[in-house]
Structure 1
Amino acid sequence: MLHRFFEEGYWFAPKKFGYGSGLPIAWQGWVLLAGYIVLMFGAALLLESGGLGVTAILVAAMIIMTILFVFIAKRRTKGGWKWRP
């Protein structure tokens, strides 16, 4: 099952205007987006109850998750990322 998640192909449509990815066009893109939202929401909930050390670790984890999400979305966008006026 896991190998099907990493099949070649496009997971996101390009934005019609601007730069970046639009909505997912494959189930893998929807799973990636849902997972990202759940992880960010969970980290945000943990931020409320943590001290300074926990906050620093969670913020760093959120930054890493965002960079990873953007990297994957960029690689799996049909037509790549470019400016579309």
Structure 2
Amino acid sequence: MADEKSRDDDVWFAPKRFGYGTGWPIAWQGWVLLGGYLALLLLGSHYVAPKHPIGFGIFVGVLTIAVLGLSATHTRGGWHWRWGGKDE
């Protein structure tokens, strides 16, 4: 029982019903991750992109990889292809 509780505490995102990847956040940590990602993209596009477009592109790539990695590790059932059934 305690094992299941600790796994549920680590879940920030619901899985997509169809397709591959993650759905919407279901915990405050997921919302903070999503909000922080969007805030950093907006700040970077305002302050960095006009002066350093290549640097901004690198920034977006690194930030996106980090967010995808975190969301993949914190999605209930992990990332795999789903066909719309209740598999987990």
CA deviations on 1:10-44 (whole Å, 9 max, x unpaired) are 00000011100000010000000000001111112
Which protein is richer in helix relative to its size? 1
TM-score (normalised: structure 1): 0.82
- Map 1:55-74 onto structure 2 (within 5 A): 55-74=53-72
CA distance in 2, matches of 1:61, 1:16: 30
Unmatched tracts of structure 1, length 5 or more: 1-7
Q: What is the TM-score when the length of structure 2 is the normalising length? A: 0.79
Aligned AA (2:13): F
Per the alignment, residue 35 of structure 2 pairs with: 34
Tell me how many residue pairs correspond in the alignment. Answer: 74
Matched with 2:6 is: none
Deviations 1:44-65 (A, max 9, x none): 2231x31xxx111111011000
Q: Distance in 2 between matches of 1:18 and 1:45?
A: 33
